[in-house]
């Protein structure tokens, strides 16, 4: 069974309650693997951003991805 982005975010938050730049790069690769940011992925990213789950570099990386995906819609 494929893990959802929400599962991955939950997993990376377990160690220190923050998503680092390295973890954000892994998340970005997962999202971009199929070339599409799905509604579930957008929702999970948005929720994590609102919860302030990212360190500064990670927030910049993933909020940029979210912004680009919203511009395509």
Question: What is the pLDDT at residue 70?
Answer: 81
How far apart CA 14 and CA 26 sit, in angstroms, is 16
pLDDT of residue 73: 63
Residue 38 to residue 44: CA distance in whole angstroms = 10
Q: What pLDDT, on a 0 to 100 scale, did the predictor assign at position 54? A: 95
Q: Which helix (H) or strand (E) holds 35?
A: none
- Intervals of the chain under pLDDT 70: 1, 73
Q: In whole angstroms, what is the distance from residue 13 CA to residue 53 CA?
A: 8
Specify whether the CB–CB gap between 63 and 49 falls below 8 A: yes
- The per-residue pLDDT for 53 is 94
pLDDT at 46: 93
What's the full length of the chain, in residues?
73
Q: What is the pLDDT of residue 1?
A: 58
User: Which residue(s) pair with 19 in the sheet?
Assistant: 54
pLDDT of the residue at 72: 72
């Amino acid at each position: 069974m494929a893990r959802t982005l929400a599962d991955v975010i939950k997993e990376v938050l377990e160690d220190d309650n923050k998503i680092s730049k390295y973890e954000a790069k892994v998340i970005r690769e997962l999202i971009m693997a199929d070339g599409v940011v799905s509604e579930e992925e957008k929702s999970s990213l948005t929720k994590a951003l609102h919860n302030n789950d990212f360190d500064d570099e990670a927030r910049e990386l993933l909020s940029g991805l979210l912004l680009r995906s919203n511009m395509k819609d």
